[in-house]
């Protein structure tokens, strides 16, 4: 299995809703990442988990809350989002970062 | 701080022709890695090719090859025999141990004309 699976593929949520994005990989990768990508822009790093511990938080607002329940799963909990948070959210994993990251196909989030 | 620059926001190539996408970067590290990622309209980010800075030989993957000029801090991607499926946004990316992050350029949108 050489894939990173993200669910859901599309999500529409109101500003008062609470939702979660899920990411799963079974490649034995020990580092997992959340990126946010706006249209026609490069991905922006949000969080890095290394060996299930949060190692990098790129000053992301607290309305985004990451969680790594085990080495295969990564969640992103969303609460009280703003319309400007609408974007493609990409999950990635890597065994050894210089070898390259494997990306999921993303969750397209719309906040209304 | 490390930066990655892609000076060509858009490029166009005829099917079966060759196109070169440019990328320059700035770093003070001596050991780092460079990547080209492809992102088609499906938005899946796909690794195209990878280059280790300590290797002088340019990486190749089938129709894709790079011209890595370490002194000039340049890392261009050449796509030979372009195919319609090559149409996508291409991102150049840098990884160095000091930041432990993958840093992306702004991207080049490649169109392939039949």
DSSP string, B28-69: S-SSEEEEEEEE-TT---EEEEEEETT--SPPEETTEEEEEE
B44/A106 touch (CB, cutoff 8 Å), yes or no: yes
Residue of B46, B26, B28 lying closest to B36 (CA atoms) = B46
Q: Give pLDDT < 50 ranges for chain A.
A: none
Q: Which residue among B46, B105, B109 places its CB closest to the CB of A42?
A: B105
Buried-state track B41-57, b at ≥16 Cβ within 10 A, e below 16: eebbbebbbbbebeeee
First to last CA, chain B: 41
pLDDT at A110: 97
Q: What is the pLDDT of residues B51-97, one digit of tens each?
A: 999 998 999 999 999 999 999 999 999 999 999 999 999 999 999 87
Q: Are B110 and B13 in contact (CB under 8 A)?
A: yes
Contact B35 A103 (CB under 8 A): no
Find which of B45, B93, B106, B107 to mutate to test the A interface (most A CBs within 10 Å of its CB): B45
Provide CB contacts within 8 A for A59, sequence distance 6+.
none
- Return the pLDDT at B1: 79
> Cα–Cα distance between B31 and B1 in angstroms, integer?
15
Residue B109 has pLDDT above 80, yes or no: yes
Residue B14, pLDDT score = 98
C-alpha closest to that of A64 among A50, A48, A49, A81:
A81
Provide the pLDDT for residue A1: 62
For residue range B37-54, list pLDDT tens digits in order. Answer: 999 988 889 999 999 999
Q: What is the pLDDT of residue B30?
A: 87
Does residue A62 come out as left (phi exceeding 0), alpha (psi in the -120 to 50 range) or beta? alpha
Q: Do A90 and B50 touch (CB under 8 A)?
A: no
Give the CB-side neighbour count of residue B32, counting CA atoms within 13 A: 25
B→A interface, C-beta within 8 Å: 33, 35, 37, 42-47, 50, 52, 89, 91, 95, 100-102, 104-107, 109
């Amino acid at each position: 299995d050489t894939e990173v699976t993200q669910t859901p593929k599309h999500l529409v949520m109101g500003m008062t809703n609470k939702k979660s994005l899920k990411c799963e990989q079974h490649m034995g990768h020990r580092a997992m990442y959340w990126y946010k990508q706006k249209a026609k822009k490069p991905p922006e790093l949000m969080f890095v988990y290394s060996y299930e511990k949060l190692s990098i938080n790129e000053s992301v607002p607290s309305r985004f809350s990451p969680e790594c329940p085990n080495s295969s799963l990564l969640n992103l909990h969303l609460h009280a989002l703003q319309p400007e948070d609408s974007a493609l959210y990409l999950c990635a994993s890597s065994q050894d970062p210089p070898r390259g990251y494997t990306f999921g196909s993303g969750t397209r989030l719309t906040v209304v | 701080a490390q930066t990655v620059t892609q000076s060509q926001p858009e490029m166009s190539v005829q099917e079966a022709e060759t196109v070169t996408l440019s990328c320059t970067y700035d770093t003070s590290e001596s050991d780092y890695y460079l990547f080209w990622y492809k992102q088609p309209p499906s938005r899946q980010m796909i690794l195209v090719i990878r280059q280790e800075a300590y290797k002088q030989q340019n990486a190749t993957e089938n129709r894709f090859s790079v011209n890595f000029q370490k002194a000039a801090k340049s890392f261009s991607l050449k796509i030979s025999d372009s195919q319609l499926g090559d149409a996508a946004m291409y991102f150049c990316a840098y990884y160095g141990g000091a930041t432990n992050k993958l840093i992306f350029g702004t991207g080049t949108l490649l169109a392939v004309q039949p």
